[in-house]
A and B are shown apart, each in its own frame.
Chain A
Amino acid sequence: MRLLLIEDYRPLRQSLTKGLHEAGFAVDATGDGNEGLWYALGNEYDVIILDLMLPGMDGLEILRRVRSQGRKASVLILTAKDTVQDRVTGLDLGADDYLVKPFAFEELLARVRALLRRSYQEKNPCLEIADLRIDLTAQRVWRGTEEIQLTAREYALLEYLAMRAGQAVSRTGIWEHVYEFNASASSNVVDVYVGYLRKKIERTDKPALIHTLRGRGYMLGVKP
């Protein structure tokens, strides 16, 4: 899943970027309001984590413009402003959640995951595709009773596919949601990671779950 973090306080931005990245998210981060808006309008993000008081452009203005441009990304406002009026203003402008500083990083992660589930209309924190089970909260994966160890990037790829189980997912879509904006692009990096994932998930005695759709990308699920 791809996140955009717009936070002007550098130490907080750095630690959040690192933590979110380690949690399996692709994170683009900026401390400038104008740059943040440019990122938000130029890319498809699953969640935008937005500070309110920013240099260049105010966070609420960014939110207004993102919504007016029809962007559907979930927006989590992250700010030190804690009055009811501040929260109401933020939520009324189209934010999906509001978290007041200081906060527990685990809570931020939980809220981001909840927003993701809401985006994909998936209320169950555990996804099950055939005998593949994914715990979205603990970020653990099982095939049958056997737990599968995945790297953060592999997990992010699996989660993205699982959220769209049964649907064709393009390589571009995977790239946009799983990799950061600044990641060095490579023509077959998605295929490579899908290959890694296949090796860890597929079992010879069980039906294949990751399918290559010629010219369209990939699909996670059991083919009828």
Chain B
Amino acid sequence: MMRSLRARLLAGVIGGMVLLLTLFSLLLHAMIAGALRSQFDISLASVAQILAASVESDEDEAELEIQRMPALQDAGRPTYYQLWGPDGQVVIKSPLLSAHNLPRADTPVQTPIFRTAQVIHGKFWRIVNLRFVARPSESDGENAAPATEERSFTLAVARDTSELREQLHFLQWLLLNASGVVITLSFLIAWWVVRRGLHPLNSLAAEIAAVRADTLTTQIGADNVPSEVAPIRDRLNELLARLEASFRRERQFNSDVAHELRTPLAGIRSTIEVALARHREATEYRAALGDCLEITQGMQCVVNNLLLLARADTRQISFKNEPIPLAGLVSACWYPFTNKARERCIAFENRIPVKMTCESDAEHLSMVFSNLLGNAVEYADKGGRIWATARTTGDSILITLSNTGCRLTAEQVSHVFDAFWRGDAARLGTGTHCGLGLALVYRLVGALGGHVIAEVQDGVFTVRLTFPSTGNEKGPGQAQRSVPGRGLESTG
């Protein structure tokens, strides 16, 4: 199968042209040949009719007045004749026939019958047989016997078809050569037309080839694109726009990662350099090492969460499907934060029904709850409240985690699931808060087949998690934001 569009178009155009020309030539040939043969036959029949009209007969004999027919005397293009009497005996025949005889056919009276036969001198002859009733001889006068079919004569007139055949051969040669020339010219014209017709595609291909990762904003085929190619161009431009958006997110993410790692790296480096700048007491070195350890732990948190994010994005995490008592899991996840909550006088209330279970992966679901609860403890107002609820709705389970003291706007809340995004108040935690916790929640919930949205109302920040009550059998779902996100944002 031809893969080249140009070859296909050329083959189609030329093939169609050859077929049409062949049919046209055959038809033309048939029409002209028919006309020539018809003309030949008419001429031959005329000669036969004239000859028949010139035959006079009486009871004893018949007479043919051939001296009035100069065509019959032409030795160059002879016309042979032969006349049979009513009894089938040859009355007269062309002297040029010598020993040869023309074929005789019994035909209805005055109905010429034509045939082609190779009868004389190895040539093809066109023969017409005509049965007619001869007029009575003038010498008989009124005593002449009446002309009846019983007294009919049969005449055969033959003429050489060489000239006709030559004409037909010339016609065939003419049509064949004309067709060849027309097909050659058609090929050249079609090649040129196809080449010009495909030029926009070539231009488009050249423009696409020139697109690089840093020029994805280029609009392809902005001008002079045929309407047939315009949809392809439009789809390509849409694809480029999606690629650009994806690349931009990637660059922003890389920039955020670099930033998140650069700041603690700067902290480690300056801490070590300042510590080594002079001789110090052991306690000072110990403090510097402690600072470095704290920074390293923060970096480890960033790196671990980045790895988890990458794995969740590429579905490299394997999930179990097990019945999980939700209230128990949330309480277990809350436990590590109890001290911090006590310090900040934050009350936690687990309102999830004790018997409620959810089919999911306990390990990763506990990561989700831990991140959400850790976030809530961090950002709830001092003396505020945190509470968890759950209920079944249809074939899904809706879990909510809420905390008071939220100072984020609705617009800011739309970014809480973006990697490295931190609300203004959280920027104090550069290097210690990863800025990845809620992004990880978003990815994990999606990978677990659930949905997550966040909203803020009257200073209460609420995260709503929806999981299928039958677990993750239908495959991973897609987490959702309360407001469409705008990609990653750098924050510190």
Are B266 and A101 closer than 8 Å at their CB atoms? yes
Chain A residue contacts of B271, Cβ below 8 A:
11-12, 14-15
Nearest-neighbour CB distance to chain B for A6, whole angstroms, equals 13
Chain A count of residues within 8 A CB distance of the other chain: 29
- Once bound together, how far apart are the Cα atoms of A69 and B340, in whole Å? 42
The answer to whether the Cβ of A31 comes within 8 Å of any Cβ in the partner chain is yes
Residue in A closest to B265 when the chains form the complex, CB atoms: A102
- Once bound together, how far apart are the Cα atoms of A54 and B406, in whole Å? 19
Given the known interface contacts A9-B431, A54-B427, the answer about A105 and B274 at a Cβ–Cβ threshold of 8 Å is yes
In terms of DSSP, what is the predominant structure of the interface of chain B? helix
Chain A residue contacts of B431, Cβ below 8 A:
9-12
- Once bound together, how far apart are the Cα atoms of A81 and B254, in whole Å? 12
Chain A residue contacts of B274, Cβ below 8 A:
15-16, 18-19, 22, 105
Chain A residue contacts of B267, Cβ below 8 A:
9, 11-12, 15
- Once bound together, how far apart are the Cα atoms of A81 and B492, in whole Å? 9
Are A105 and B263 closer than 8 Å at their CB atoms? no
Are A103 and B430 closer than 8 Å at their CB atoms? no
User: A103 contacts which of B266, B277, B427, B428 (Cβ < 8 Å)?
Assistant: B266
Looking at A15, A53, A54, A106, the one whose CB has the most chain B CB atoms below 10 A away is A15
- Once bound together, how far apart are the Cα atoms of A180 and B426, in whole Å? 28
Chain A residue contacts of B269, Cβ below 8 A:
102-105
Are A106 and B273 closer than 8 Å at their CB atoms? yes
- Once bound together, how far apart are the Cα atoms of A83 and B255, in whole Å? 10
Nearest-neighbour CB distance to chain A for B292, whole angstroms, equals 8
- Once bound together, how far apart are the Cα atoms of A16 and B172, in whole Å? 102
Given the known interface contacts A9-B264, A11-B291, the answer about A105 and B277 at a Cβ–Cβ threshold of 8 Å is yes
Interface string of A1-38 (1 = CB under 8 A from B): 00000001111101110110010000000011000000
The answer to whether the Cβ of B478 comes within 8 Å of any Cβ in the partner chain is no
The answer to whether the Cβ of B294 comes within 8 Å of any Cβ in the partner chain is yes
The answer to whether the Cβ of A195 comes within 8 Å of any Cβ in the partner chain is no
Chain A residue contacts of B275, Cβ below 8 A:
15
Nearest-neighbour CB distance to chain B for A214, whole angstroms, equals 39
Chain B residue contacts of A16, Cβ below 8 A:
270, 274
Residue in A closest to B432 when the chains form the complex, CB atoms: A10
The answer to whether the Cβ of A56 comes within 8 Å of any Cβ in the partner chain is yes
Chain B residue contacts of A81, Cβ below 8 A:
259, 490
Chain B count of residues within 8 A CB distance of the other chain: 33
Given the known interface contacts A15-B291, A80-B259, the answer about A55 and B427 at a Cβ–Cβ threshold of 8 Å is yes
- Once bound together, how far apart are the Cα atoms of A15 and B284, in whole Å? 11
User: A22 contacts which of B266, B270, B278 (Cβ < 8 Å)?
Assistant: B278
The answer to whether the Cβ of B149 comes within 8 Å of any Cβ in the partner chain is no
Are A11 and B427 closer than 8 Å at their CB atoms? no
**Residues 420 to 439 of chain B near chain A (Cβ within 8 Å):** 424-428, 430-432
The answer to whether the Cβ of B258 comes within 8 Å of any Cβ in the partner chain is yes
The answer to whether the Cβ of B491 comes within 8 Å of any Cβ in the partner chain is yes
Chain B residue contacts of A12, Cβ below 8 A:
263-264, 266-267, 270-271, 431
The answer to whether the Cβ of B454 comes within 8 Å of any Cβ in the partner chain is no
Nearest-neighbour CB distance to chain B for A16, whole angstroms, equals 6
Given the known interface contacts A9-B431, A55-B425, the answer about A80 and B263 at a Cβ–Cβ threshold of 8 Å is yes
Are A55 and B424 closer than 8 Å at their CB atoms? yes
Interface string of B470-492 (1 = CB under 8 A from A): 00000000000000000000111
Given the known interface contacts A53-B492, A80-B262, the answer about A31 and B273 at a Cβ–Cβ threshold of 8 Å is no
Given the known interface contacts A11-B291, A11-B295, A22-B277, the answer about A105 and B430 at a Cβ–Cβ threshold of 8 Å is no
Given the known interface contacts A12-B267, A81-B259, the answer about A105 and B273 at a Cβ–Cβ threshold of 8 Å is yes
A residues neighboring B (CB under 8 Å): 8-12, 14-16, 18-19, 22, 31-32, 53-56, 80-83, 100-106, 108
* 21 residue pairs A–B, Cβ–Cβ below 8 Å: A8-B428, A9-B430, A12-B431, A15-B275, A15-B288, A16-B270, A16-B274, A19-B274, A22-B278, A53-B427, A53-B491, A54-B427, A55-B424, A80-B258, A81-B490, A83-B255, A100-B262, A102-B262, A102-B266, A102-B269, A108-B270
Instruction: Please provide the 8 A-B residue pairs with the shortest distance between their CB atoms, ordered closest to farther.
Output: A19-B274, A101-B266, A102-B266, A55-B427, A80-B262, A12-B267, A11-B267, A105-B273
Additional 5 contacts, C-beta under 8 A, given A14-B271, A14-B291, A101-B265 = A8-B492, A12-B270, A19-B277, A55-B428, A56-B424
B residues neighboring A (CB under 8 Å): 255, 258-259, 262-271, 273-275, 277-278, 288, 291, 294-295, 424-428, 430-432, 490-492
